[in-house]
């Protein structure tokens, strides 16, 4: 029997985009148990419903996270629109879908870069982020911001995006497809990378379902779950969407799910840009919020849940955001049991931790 | 499967230009929509304050009395709401943030002439115009005081309310301030609610006056029938200029006649109808029936949070708010609604 030691992981760690603390109970280089602590980035944003009216709350919720910011803006706006019984125009739904898929591409490229950094492959990290810059430039051109877009509002979008611009965007994305494929091939085919990922951190399908894992963590273990199938948001129903499922349940499978989703997003944007109807992009939102509504959005990290409740004044009574990493942390703790100490950074990254989403 | 799969990318990037710009020698070209800091063209600003109201971060202040437009640069979140809402389009978007500084930057802009004639507005087709519901208007003049461009005229004595449509900038400040909520924007084309009619005098106007301060007695002074008054304080709470002082313990009711703007908000709120302007009205006959049909507050137990504010506020001590045992003595209750006003959970309603 080896001696047990406790090694603290985080909140500062080179692989972590956001601070989370794990106490790793280690016995001779094997992690026996992992005890998570969160709370380093809690800002109390949900309490701001008391002082900011509902249209200003969309800006607040958008700033919950920088990586998944469009999804948060969409979820907040959609849940308030549902509570006020506002139906937004078709063109606005299409544009929101296109922007969200662009956001997914940038998020997955960011994650791929961080994963490469986690196993020390810095040049691959830099190349992934270089390709991501093209996507961020596209987003800046469409919305005005690289990270925080401020384009969703209650009632639709604040600005329209014309069809010529959309066609140009599709052209730019097609231009980076080849380069992206070369980079993702490194993740999937290179021997040294595969050695770090195959067979590491296996999460069985039963465990994934029981621990309520969401997003690519669940889909990498064979659980057939993707909010985009449910037609609860966006126009995915008209774009022939099929979720991407892998069965192995290890880090390699989760990486493969995200890479395939990246290319699938590029295809979805192309299809949506071809089918987008003309028309207005917003309706005026008059009056106060009276009622409650739930929206579920498939963020790049999984299912995010937005609840808005209003009681007749311009201030909402409650705005609750439940983000995907919140649900993936138990799955993380399970995969950490029995792994090597050197695999801990890879495993923590493989759930795509977005702790500022978790803590708001 | 293979080794060093990244070879192709690495070799190519060795012979390509670097992906980074040699900033600051080479400057980046920003796309058109990039949101940076906010610039203002002060000559056009009319200090309407719409930007102040819309800003989610409360980064903008508009001071009408000193003619200043102030922005706290570090609070600004670069959302562009102020730019979208400015009626004179004097705010514009800069693609860059403000320069870094050792202190939190506050930029103050002075608007040279606060009262400007918006010549551009005159003669243009007006989509909406400001209208006043003359039946509800009490000619208090609060709208005039708050108009940033002096577009309103109110004459209390002759019951005149007028708006200069060319000067009006549709900022809505008057609508916000009106205590009787009688101002709205209407579509042009609909007949305005008789903006120039004189309202027919409702009650007996002049006539000798009344009570309390035995000093000089001009015609319209606020008075209170002290026999009926229960000193609940609702009139003081609803006075927009804090001209009333009510002391429940000492049974005192006082009005500062000079501060009073005769808006009659107190008269409308008084539960015992003991306030009047000018001459005291005759006692209505229905008073005697009130006791029989008295409506008292009723508690919704689900909502109650047992804070006991109702018990503490009740002027007649009619409420006992113990846990699981909230009772109201209907004989003592005077229907003053003070408990309803103060309940934080909205759990009380009149029956």
What's the CA gap between B332 and B43, in Å, rounded?
A: 63
Across chain A, mean pLDDT equals 90
Hey, what are A73's tokens?
A: 């803006």
Does the structure show a pLDDT above 70 at B188?
A: no
What's the CA gap between B322 and B96, in Å, rounded?
A: 61
pLDDT score, position A268: 92
CA dist list (Å): B279 to B223, B229, B274, B276? 8, 16, 12, 7
Interface contact B33-A191, CB threshold 8 A: no
Is the dihedral angle over the CA atoms A194, A199, A204, A207 positive or is it negative? negative
Q: Does A97 or A2 have the greater pLDDT score?
A: A97
- B18 at interface of A, judged by CB pairs closer than 8 A: no
Interface contact A190-B3, CB threshold 8 A: yes
Complex ipTM value: 0.81
Mean pLDDT (whole number) for B311-339:
78
For tokens 């506002």, name the residue.
Answer: A86
Q: Does A90 or B119 have the greater pLDDT score?
A: A90
Most confident stretch, A344-348, B146-150, B295-299: A344-348
Candidates A43, A49, A113, A144: best to mutate against B (most CBs of B within 10 A) is: A144
**What would you report as the CA-atom Rg of chain B, rounded to the nearest whole angstrom?**
30
Interface contact A190-B79, CB threshold 8 A: no
Q: Are A317 and A311 in contact (CB under 8 A)?
A: yes
Length of chain A, please?
360
Across chain B, mean pLDDT equals 75
Does the structure show a pLDDT above 60 at B61?
A: yes
Candidates B11, B21, B33: best to mutate against A (most CBs of A within 10 A) is: B33
Length of chain B, please?
351
Closest residue in B to A159 (Cα) is B33
Does the structure show a pLDDT above 70 at B204?
A: no
CA dihedral A300, A305, A311, A314 (to 10 degrees): -10
What's the number of CA atoms in the CB half-sphere (13 Å) around residue B114?
16
Hey, what are B293's tokens?
A: 């049909």
pLDDT score, position B201: 39
Interface contact A127-B79, CB threshold 8 A: no
3-class DSSP assignment, residue B12: helix
Does the structure show a pLDDT above 80 at A54?
A: yes
Does the structure show a pLDDT above 50 at B284?
A: no
pLDDT in tens, B297-308: 888 877 887 777
Interface contact A191-B1, CB threshold 8 A: yes
Interface contact B79-A186, CB threshold 8 A: no
List CB contacts (< 8 A) between B347 and chain A: none
Residues 6+ apart with CB under 8 A from B249: none
- What proportion of chain A, given as a percentage, has pLDDT over 70? 100
Which of B2, B35, B77 is opposite residue A144, by nearest beta carbon?
Answer: B35
Mean pLDDT (whole number) for B94-121:
71
Helix, strand, coil proportions of chain B in percent (round to 5)? 15, 20, 65
Residues 6+ apart with CB under 8 A from B215: none
pLDDT in tens, A243-268: 999 998 899 999 999 999 999 999 99
Q: What does residue A273 show for φ and ψ, rounded to 5 degrees?
A: -65, -30
pLDDT in tens, B1-27: 678 888 888 888 889 888 888 888 888
pLDDT confidence tier of residue B117, bands split at 50, 70 and 90: very low
Does the structure show a pLDDT above 60 at A35?
A: yes
Closest residue in B to A62 (Cα) is B79
pLDDT confidence tier of residue A136, bands split at 50, 70 and 90: very high
Closest residue in B to A57 (Cα) is B56
Q: Are A46 and A319 in contact (CB under 8 A)?
A: yes
- Min distance A254 CA to chain B CA atoms (Å): 18
pLDDT score, position A166: 92
For tokens 């930007």, name the residue.
Answer: B51
Closest CA to A154 of A92, A245, A230: A92
- B14 at interface of A, judged by CB pairs closer than 8 A: no
Q: Residues 72-91, chain B: which have Cβ within 8 Å of A?
A: 77-80, 84
Q: Are A46 and A360 in contact (CB under 8 A)?
A: yes
Q: Are A337 and A31 in contact (CB under 8 A)?
A: yes
Which of B1, B6, B33 is opposite residue A144, by nearest beta carbon?
Answer: B33
pLDDT score, position B132: 85
Which of B8, B34, B80 is opposite residue A140, by nearest beta carbon?
Answer: B34
pLDDT score, position B211: 40
Which of B2, B80, B84 is opposite residue A190, by nearest beta carbon?
Answer: B2
List CB contacts (< 8 A) between A182 and chain B: 8-9
pLDDT confidence tier of residue A320, bands split at 50, 70 and 90: very high
Interface contact B33-A142, CB threshold 8 A: yes
Helix, strand, coil proportions of chain A in percent (round to 5)? 50, 15, 35
Strand A302-311 versus strand A290-299 pairing type: antiparallel
Closest residue in A to B31 (Cα) is A141
- Min distance A62 CA to chain B CA atoms (Å): 11
Query: Helix axis angle, B7-15 relative to A163-189, nearest 10°?
Result: 130
- B53 at interface of A, judged by CB pairs closer than 8 A: no
pLDDT score, position A132: 93
Q: Are A196 and A250 in contact (CB under 8 A)?
A: no
pLDDT in tens, B217-274: 456 678 888 777 878 777 887 777 778 888 777 778 888 877 777 777 777 777 777 8
Preceding omega of A44 cis (within 30 degrees of 0): no
Q: Does B127 or A40 have the greater pLDDT score?
A: A40
Mean pLDDT (whole number) for A146-156:
90
pLDDT score, position B282: 56
What's the CA gap between B298 and B301, in Å, rounded?
A: 9
What's the CA gap between A212 and A202, in Å, rounded?
A: 16
pLDDT score, position A177: 92
What's the CA gap between B48 and B58, in Å, rounded?
A: 15
For residue A296, what are the β-bridge partners? A305
What's the CA gap between B205 and B220, in Å, rounded?
A: 8
Does the structure show a pLDDT above 60 at B285?
A: no
Hey, what are B187's tokens?
A: 């579509």
Order the strands of the A316-322 sheet from edge to edge.
A290-299, A302-311, A316-322
CA dist list (Å): B160 to A24, B139, B147, B198? 79, 8, 17, 6
- H helix intervals, chain B: 7-15, 50-54, 81-85, 142-146, 173-177, 234-238, 265-269, 287-292, 309-313, 338-342
What's the CA gap between B94 and A320, in Å, rounded?
A: 34
- B17 at interface of A, judged by CB pairs closer than 8 A: no
pLDDT score, position B207: 37
Q: Does B122 or A310 have the greater pLDDT score?
A: A310
Interface contact A186-B33, CB threshold 8 A: no
Strand B152-155 versus strand B222-224 pairing type: unpaired
Which of B10, B19, B77 is opposite residue A123, by nearest beta carbon?
Answer: B10
Q: Are A226 and A243 in contact (CB under 8 A)?
A: yes
Mean pLDDT (whole number) for A96-119:
92
pLDDT confidence tier of residue A79, bands split at 50, 70 and 90: very high
pLDDT score, position B320: 83
Which of A141, A182, A192 is opposite residue B31, by nearest beta carbon?
Answer: A141
Closest CA to A163 of A265, A272, A87: A272
What's the CA gap between A254 and A218, in Å, rounded?
A: 9
- H helix intervals, chain A: 54-62, 69-83, 90-118, 122-143, 163-189, 191-197, 205-210, 216-219, 251-275, 324-336, 344-350, 355-359
What's the CA gap between B19 and B2, in Å, rounded?
A: 28
pLDDT score, position A167: 92
List CB contacts (< 8 A) between A181 and chain B: none
Which of B9, B35, B80 is opposite residue A127, by nearest beta carbon?
Answer: B9
pLDDT confidence tier of residue B118, bands split at 50, 70 and 90: very low
List CB contacts (< 8 A) between A137 and chain B: 31
pLDDT score, position B195: 38
Mean pLDDT (whole number) for B124-148:
74
Residues 6+ apart with CB under 8 A from A318: A46, A49, A307, A308, A309
- B33 at interface of A, judged by CB pairs closer than 8 A: yes
Find the chain A residues whose C-beta atoms sit closer than 8 A to any C-beta of B.
Answer: 52, 56, 59-60, 63, 123-124, 127, 130, 133, 137, 140-145, 148, 150, 158-159, 179, 182-183, 185-186, 189-192, 194
Mean pLDDT (whole number) for A76-95:
91
Closest residue in A to B93 (Cα) is A144
User: Between chain A and chain B, how many beta carbons pairs sit less than 8 Å apart?
Assistant: 64
Question: Cβ–Cβ contacts within 10 Å for residue B1, how many?
Answer: 8
Does the structure show a pLDDT above 90 at B84?
A: no
Which of B2, B32, B35 is opposite residue A191, by nearest beta carbon?
Answer: B2
Closest CA to B161 of B138, B179, B128: B138
- What proportion of chain A, given as a percentage, has pLDDT over 90? 49
Interface contact A59-B77, CB threshold 8 A: yes
Mean pLDDT (whole number) for A134-146:
91
3-class DSSP assignment, residue B107: strand
Question: Cβ–Cβ contacts within 10 Å for residue A39, how many?
Answer: 12
Write the DSSP assignment of B252-294 as a string of letters.
Answer: EEEE-TTT-----HHHHH-TT--EEESSPPPPPTTHHHHHHT-
């Amino acid at each position: 029997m080896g001696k047990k030691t406790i090694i603290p992981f985080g909140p500062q760690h080179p692989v972590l985009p956001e601070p989370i603390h794990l106490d790793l109970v280690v016995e001779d280089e094997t992690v026996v148990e992992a005890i998570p602590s969160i709370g380093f980035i809690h800002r109390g944003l949900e309490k701001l419903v008391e002082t900011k009216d509902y249209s200003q709350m969309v800006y607040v919720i958008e700033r919950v996270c920088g990586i998944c910011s469009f999804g948060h803006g969409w979820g907040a706006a959609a849940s308030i629109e549902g509570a006020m019984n506002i139906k937004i125009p078709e063109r606005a739904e299409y544009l929101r879908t296109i922007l969200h898929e662009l956001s997914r591409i940038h998020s997955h490229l960011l994650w791929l870069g961080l994963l490469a950094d986690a196993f020390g492959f810095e040049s691959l990290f830099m190349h992934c982020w270089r390709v991501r810059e093209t996507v961020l430039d596209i987003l800046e051109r469409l919305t005005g911001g690289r990270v925080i877009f401020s384009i969703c509002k209650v009632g639709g979008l604040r600005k329209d995006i014309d069809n010529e611009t959309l066609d140009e965007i599709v052209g730019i994305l097609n231009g980076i497809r080849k380069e992206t494929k070369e980079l993702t091939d490194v993740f999937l085919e290179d021997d040294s990378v595969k050695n770090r990922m195959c067979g590491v951190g296996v999460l069985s399908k039963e465990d994934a379902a029981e621990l309520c894992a969401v997003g690519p963590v669940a889909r990498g273990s064979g659980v057939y779950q993707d909010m985009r199938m449910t037609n609860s948001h966006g126009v995915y129903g008209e774009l022939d969407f099929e979720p991407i499922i892998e069965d192995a349940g290890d880090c390699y499978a989760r990486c493969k799910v995200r890479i395939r989703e990246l290319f699938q997003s590029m295809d979805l944007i192309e299809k949506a840009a071809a089918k987008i109807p003309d028309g207005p992009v917003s309706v005026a939102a008059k009056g106060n919020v009276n009622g409650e509504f739930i929206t579920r959005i498939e963020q790049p990290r999984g299912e995010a849940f937005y609840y808005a409740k209003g009681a007749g004044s311009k201030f909402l009574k409650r705005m609750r955001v439940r983000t995907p990493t919140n649900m993936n942390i138990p799955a993380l703790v399970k995969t950490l049991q029995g792994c090597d100490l050197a695999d801990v950074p890879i495993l923590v990254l493989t759930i795509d931790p977005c702790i500022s989403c978790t803590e708001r | 499967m293979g080794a060093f799969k990244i070879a192709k990318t690495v070799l190519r990037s060795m012979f390509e230009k670097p992906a980074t710009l040699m900033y600051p020698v080479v400057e980046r070209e920003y796309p058109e929509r990039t949101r940076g800091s906010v610039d203002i063209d002060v000559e056009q600003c009319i200090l309407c304050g719409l930007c102040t109201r819309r800003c989610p971060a409360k980064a903008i202040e508009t001071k009408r009395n000193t003619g200043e437009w102030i922005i706290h640069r570090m609070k600004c979140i670069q959302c562009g709401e102020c730019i979208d809402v400015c009626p004179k389009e004097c705010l514009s978007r800069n693609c860059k943030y403000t320069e870094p500084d050792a202190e939190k930057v506050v930029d103050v802009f002075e608007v040279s002439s606060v009262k400007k004639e918006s010549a551009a507005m005159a003669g243009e087709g007006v989509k909406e115009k400001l209208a006043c519901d003359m039946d509800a208007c009490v000619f208090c003049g609060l709208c005039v005081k708050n108009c940033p461009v002096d577009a309103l005229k109110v004459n209390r004595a002759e019951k005149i309310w007028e708006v200069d449509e060319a000067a009006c900038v549709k900022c809505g400040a008057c609508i916000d301030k009106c205590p009787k909520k009688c101002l709205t924007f209407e579509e042009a084309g609909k007949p305005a609610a008789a903006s120039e009619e004189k309202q027919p005098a409702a009650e007996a106007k002049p006539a000798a006056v009344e009570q309390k301060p035995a000093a000089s007695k001009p015609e319209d002074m606020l008075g209170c029938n002290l026999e009926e008054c229960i000193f609940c304080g609702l009139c003081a709470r609803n006075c927009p200029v804090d001209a009333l002082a009510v002391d429940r313990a000492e049974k005192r009711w006082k009005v500062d006649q000079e501060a009073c703007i005769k808006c009659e908000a107190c008269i409308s709120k008084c539960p015992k109808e003991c306030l009047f302007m000018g001459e005291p009205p005759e006692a209505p006959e229905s008073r005697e029936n009130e006791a029989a049909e008295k409506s008292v507050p009723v508690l919704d137990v689900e909502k109650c949070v047992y804070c006991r504010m109702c018990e503490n506020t009740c002027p007649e001590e009619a409420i006992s708010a113990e846990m699981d045992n909230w009772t109201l003595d209907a004989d003592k209750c005077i229907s003053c609604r003070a408990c309803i006003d103060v309940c934080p959970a909205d759990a009380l309603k009149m029956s």
